[in-house]
Amino acid sequence: MTSGLMTAREAGLIACVRCGLLHEKKIHECTRCGAYLESRDATSIQRVWALLFAGMITFVPANVLPMLKTNTLVEHSESTIIGGVFELIHHGSIGIAAIVFIASILIPVGKFIAIAYLAISVQRKSTLNQHQRHKLYEVVEFIGRWSMIDVFVVAILSALVQLDTIASINPGVAAFSFALSVIFTILSAQSFDARLIWDTDRTAHAK
Amino acid sequence: MPNDHDQSPADFDLRQAARPIWQRISLVWLVPALALIISLSVAYQNYASQGVLIEISFDNASGVAADETVIKYRDVTIGRVEKVEFAAGLSDVLVHARIDQKMAPYLDDDAEFWVVRPDVSVRGITGLDTVLGGVYIEGNWDTEADEAQYQFVGVENPPITRAGQRGSVITLRARDGSALSAGAPILHKGIQVGYLETPELSFNGRDVLVSAFVEAPYDRRITSTTRFWDTSGFSIKFGASGVALDVDSMASLIEGGIAFDTVVSGGSPLVEGQLFDLFDDEDTARSSLFAKPNQEVLNVSVLFEQSVSGLSVGSEVRFQGIRIGQVSELSAFVVADRDDQQVRLRANLEIEPGRLGLGPDASTEDALGFLEDFVLRGLRARMITGNILSGSLQVEFLQIEDAPTAVVRQTDDGYPVIPTTKSEIADVAATAEGVLDRINSLPVEELMSGAIDMMDSFERLANDDSLRAAPASLNALLDEARGLIANEDVQAVPANLRSALSDLNKVIASADEAQIVSKLAETLQTANTAVANIEEATRNLPQITAQIEAVIAKTNALELDKLVQEATATLASIDKLIGSDATADLPASVSAALDETRLFLAEVRQGGAIENVNAALASASAAAKAFETSVQGLPALSNRATSLVSQTEAVVASFGERSRFSAETLGTLRDIQAAADAVTNLARTIQRNPSSLLTGR
């Protein structure tokens, strides 16, 4: 497919990941921007997996433990993410429930699956759907910055609704866990060296 | 070589040497490890702080909701209900709840749980916060950790005594539990110092037992000599001092309540859970101080022949004025006396041996022996009036002098019988009737007729013919005297006198020898004395009047009965005196005296001594004047009698309105009216402001 193209590595050069300047193999620091030069990141897959696991681990308490602690005059309630979704459905706000469900459950889970799929496919040196996989990686990276939306909502609510005994909202442990999970997932996605997607193709052709 | 120059050297097979696995592993794996540790620790903390799961079964768990209902201990939330479900067989509602771990060890077998709901009672409104916040489950247990339990049975009503409250629990024993209710206040000098728990029947079913809690430090006021009594409702005392309406607090009016007081010091200190008797009223409680409560009593019977109406169960039995027991039963009793059967009324009495002066440890046998001994010496039972207004009766034991010998017999069912004597029953109607009878039986008529008789006697005296004849006799006397003077003989008196004087001279001369003149003077003196005697006799009349006056004055000072009797007697004696022959003969005597005078004058006419006649006339005139004086005294006497009559009338009238009895009766009636007014006022106040019943204002 891409056999006509020659990679920098094949040419015995190293491209700076930050500014794109090509260097000799011997050079270890980019002469233009000073970034550390490496032809391929050897620990990339390791870091992806480690951070992905961290993100997954922290995602468990984020869903099990309460996200919001709501104290009103008459009741005290702690709601988890899933609990909140069901509550919203129960009250008929299916649209909002869908948003919360997608933003807080589907997307993070989707990201885990996507990152895991990318990492596995790289390790298995798969040559299938390389373009789609690269697109997938870009989507994952793009979505990453919006994943904190839940945490923002909790932070804003906690800051606004502090009416002493009448009503108050406090963030639960899950908010912290969720934030960690998102951070780990973003880091995991960033640790992924997208060039590896294409290397398999090259090595396959080389053989 | 140059050929070789073209060719670039073979590519390096750049293969890294295989490094050990610990060198190949990036440090980044520390991140998920750390995340795992943190997550696990959070999970563990969450689990650890989750608390202990307990299960409480309730009959009714209305308002209890999973995840919402909290469990509180002394108003602090210590747990939360997790699940509400039915027990197998749907008999109970099981509430699963998580309790704070730190609290779990204290949940031992004395822990109680109940559902707090809003409650409006006379004592106030509780659980108002549950109206907004929903019900919650409150728990109560002591502050000592014991063997922890995880299954509990919820109670319907909150226990009144909370754990940790300082005070003492006592047990009260009452005959009747109708006036007791859980939470009813215990008052001491009008201040609430405790409350009752739920009353329960005693094991044998005879009494009602109720635990009561008295708060510290008031529980120190309770000793073994403390007496408790029922203050519930209100009491109306009706007696000679009027009607007394006694109402305690509104709460005790509706819920009942009890009060206590320690009158005698020196009792032993309170023991936790000590048993006390609950008396019906304060008087009973106080009077029980000198007898052991619920001590064994001696049952005796008394058979009365007359009606026992007015005697009731609980009526007092008194011995020489001291209460020694009470009537426990009243019944009819058939006495088979040879052929005929008689129905007697039988009163069973409970005699408290401790009150017979036999010491506190006297047994019923001692008391029976004591009574038997006294019966032999004349002890008898009788009914007496306890309260003249209500007509209630009491049984009195009294000692009768020279009573016929009697012994204590036994009835068929084994009751000793105390012999009776005539009862002394005076009810208010009978007493009033008796007073009226006495007034009726006063000899008013006789008194009046006596007074009238006396008047008649005086009138008769004044109208007496012989008295009337007295002036006529005097006229005749004077006429005769005139006739005497006009008489020729009298005319001739001077001449005769002259000759007589001359004779007299001779006579005197001879009298000088024979002392005739002195003899004549003697004769005249005698006549004078006679006239003076008459005068004196007549003068006695004013004296009689004075005596009557004195008697009347005395009579006035005397008591009513005596007074009337004496007045009657006096009037009778006056009547007798006036009606007596001697008094009636008085004018006749006067006439006789006058006749005598006339005879004397006739003699004088013959004797011819005119000066003597004049003197005699003067005497007669004085006698008549004295008579007049005595007659003048009559109106005064009549006035006296009138005033006596009016005084008697006043006395009689005073019975109508101003006597002590009627004043007391009026006073009592007025008190009754005042009490009735007070009740009316209370009713009107409550009608006007019904909420005052609730608010107490």
Is the pLDDT at B334 greater than 70? The verdict is yes
The answer to whether B682 contacts chain A (CB < 8 Å) is: no
Residue whose C-alpha is closest to residue B304's, from B347, B274, B267: B347
Q: Are A53 and B32 an interchain contact pair (Cβ–Cβ within 8 Å)?
A: yes
| A-proximal residues of B, 43-72, CB under 8 Å | 43, 46, 67-68
State the pTM of this model.
Answer: 0.43
Q: Which one of A25, A26, A58 makes the best mutation probe of the B interface by having the most chain B beta carbons within 10 Å?
A: A58
Spatial distance between the Cα atoms of B467 and B274, rounded to a whole number of angstroms = 102
Q: Comparing B7-21, B127-141, B198-212, which segment has the lowest mean pLDDT?
A: B7-21
How far off is chain B from A187, nearest CA to CA, in Å?
A: 11
pLDDT at B452 over 50: yes
pLDDT digits (tens, 9 = 90+) for B454-463: 888 888 877 7
Tell me which residue of A171, A202, A159 sits closest to A40, measured CA to CA: A202
Q: Which of A74, A77, A173 sits opposite B42 (nearest CB)?
A: A173
CA B671, B673, B674, B675: dihedral to nearest 10 degrees? 90
B28 has a chain A CB within 8 A of its CB: yes
Q: Please report the pLDDT score of residue B181 as a whole number.
A: 78
Q: Give the DSSP letter of residue B269.
A: B
What average pLDDT does this structure show over B648-665? 55
Distance from CA of A183 to the nearest CA of B (A): 12
**What mean pLDDT, rounded, does chain A reach?**
82
Closest approach of A148 to chain B, Cα-based (Å): 18
* A1 band by pLDDT with thresholds 50, 70 and 90: very low
* Residue A177 distance to chain B (closest CA, Å): 8
Mutate to test the interface with B, among A46, A72, A115 (most CBs of B within 10 A): A46
3-state secondary structure of B74: coil
CB atoms within 10 A of CB B123: 17
* pLDDT, average across residues A12-17: 80
Q: Does A77 touch chain B (CB under 8 A)?
A: yes
Is there a contact between A46 and B31 if contact means CB atoms under 8 Å apart? no
A173 touches chain B (CB under 8 A): yes
The pLDDT value recorded for residue B2 is 46
Say what the pLDDT of residue A207 is. Answer: 40
- Cross-chain residue pair B39–A177, CB shorter than 8 Å: yes
Cβ atoms of residues B183 and B160 within 8 Å: yes
Range ranked top by mean pLDDT from A89-93, A195-199, B281-285, B513-517: A89-93
For chain B, the distance separating the N- and C-terminal CA atoms, rounded to the nearest angstrom, is 128
DSSP-based helix, strand, coil % in chain B, nearest 5: 45, 25, 30
User: Please, are residues B71 and B99 in contact by the beta-carbon 8 Å criterion?
Assistant: yes
Report the percent of chain B where pLDDT is more than 70. Answer: 60
Amino acid at B569: A
- Does the structure show a pLDDT above 50 at B147? yes
Query: Can you say whether the dihedral through the CA atoms of B646, B648, B651, B656 is positive or negative?
Result: negative
B31 in reach of chain A (CB within 8 A)? yes
Closest CA to B260 of B251, B182, B270, B250: B270
Q: How many CB atoms neighbour CB A77 within 10 A?
A: 14
User: Which of A10, A40, A45, A60 is most worth mutating to test chain B (most B CB atoms within 10 A of its CB)?
Assistant: A60
Stretch B351-379: mean pLDDT: 78
Specify the higher pLDDT residue, B578 or B675.
B675
Smallest Cα distance from A172 to chain B, Å: 12
**Vertex B436: Cα angle to B435 and B439 (nearest 5):** 90
Strand order across the A76-79 sheet: A76-79, A68-72, A167-171
pLDDT of A31 reads: 84
CA distance B565 to B572: 10
pLDDT at residue A112 in the model: 92
pLDDT at B403: 74
Among candidate residues A61, A66, A50, the one with its CA nearest the CA of residue A189: A50
pLDDT band at A16 (very low <50, low <70, confident <90, very high): confident
Which residue on chain A is closest to B129 by alpha carbon?
A74
Euclidean distance between CA atoms B240 and B209, whole angstroms: 37
Most confident of A54-63, B143-152, B495-504: A54-63
Burial profile A144-157: b = 16 or more Cβ within 10 angstroms, e = fewer: beebbebbebbeeb
In chain A, what residues touch B42 (CB-CB under 8 Å)? 61, 65, 173, 177
Closest by Cβ to A58, choosing from B35, B132, B133? B35
Position with higher pLDDT, B30 vs A203: B30
Give yes or no for A43 touching B (CB within 8 A): yes
Q: Residue A22's pLDDT is what?
A: 83
| Residue A13 forms contact with B (CB below 8 Å) | no
**CA B439 distance to own-chain centroid:** 28
Those of residues 107-166 in B touching chain A at CB distance below 8 A are 132-134
Distance CA B613, CA B440 (A): 62
pLDDT higher than threshold 50 for residue A206: no
Tell me if B38 and A58 make a contact (CB, 8 A cut-off).
yes
Mean pLDDT of B228-246: 70
Q: Please write the tens of the pLDDT for every residue from B175-191.
A: 777 767 777 888 888 88
Quote the minimal CA–CA distance from A104 to chain B in Å.
19
Give the pLDDT confidence score for residue B495 in this predicted structure: 63
Across the interface, whether the CB atoms of A65 and B46 are under 8 A apart is answered yes
Task: Look at B26 and A75 and tell me if their CB atoms are within 8 Å.
Answer: no
- Spatial neighbors of A85 by CB under 8 A, at least 6 apart, are A97, A100, A101, A104, A105
CB B58 within 8 A of CB B93: yes
Please state, rounded to an integer, the average pLDDT across all residues of chain B.
73
Q: CB distance A57–B39 less than 8 Å?
A: yes
Rg, Å, chain A Cα set: 22
pLDDT at B4 over 80: no
B348 CA to centre of own chain: 25
Least confident of A130-144, B410-424, B462-476, B600-614: B600-614
Q: Region B263-273: what's the mean pLDDT?
A: 76
Most confident of A40-44, B277-281, B592-596: B277-281
- Token pair in block for residue A92: 């008929």
In this prediction, residues A156-167 reach a mean pLDDT of 83
Q: Which residue in chain A is spatially nearest to B24 when comparing CA positions? A: A43
Judged by a CB distance cut-off of 8 A, whether residue A148 touches chain B is no
Note whether B46 contacts A77, CB cutoff 8 Å: no
How far apart are the CA of B5 and the nearest CA of chain A, in angstroms? 20
Question: Residue B344 forms beta bridges with which residues?
Answer: B333
Which pLDDT band, with edges at 50, 70 and 90, does A116 fall under? very high
Cβ–Cβ gap A50/B26 under 8 Å: yes
Dig out the tokens for B110 from the structure.
Answer: 């004395």
The arithmetic mean of pLDDT across residues B64-87, rounded, is 87
Phi-psi region of A34 (alpha: psi -120 to 50; beta: other; left: phi over 0): left
Q: Which residues of A touch B35 (CB under 8 A)?
A: 53-55, 57-58, 180, 184
Whether residue A67 contacts residue A105, with contact meaning beta carbons closer than 8 Å, is answered with no
Residue B219 φ then ψ, to 5°: -65, -15
Q: Does B38 touch chain A (CB under 8 A)?
A: yes
Q: Outline where DSSP puts E strands in B438-571.
A: none
Task: Report CB contact under 8 Å: B34, A54.
Answer: yes
With H, G, I as helix, E, B as strand and everything else as coil, classify residue B145: coil
pLDDT higher than threshold 50 for residue B269: yes
Confirm if B58 and B115 have CB atoms less than 8 A apart. yes
pLDDT at A2: 47
Residue in B12, B26, B41, B77 to test binding to A, most A beta-carbons within 10 Å: B26
pLDDT of residue A113: 93
Question: Which run of H or of E encompasses B131?
Answer: helix B129-133
Instruction: Please judge whether A180 and B43 are an interchain contact, meaning their C-beta atoms are less than 8 angstroms apart.
Output: no
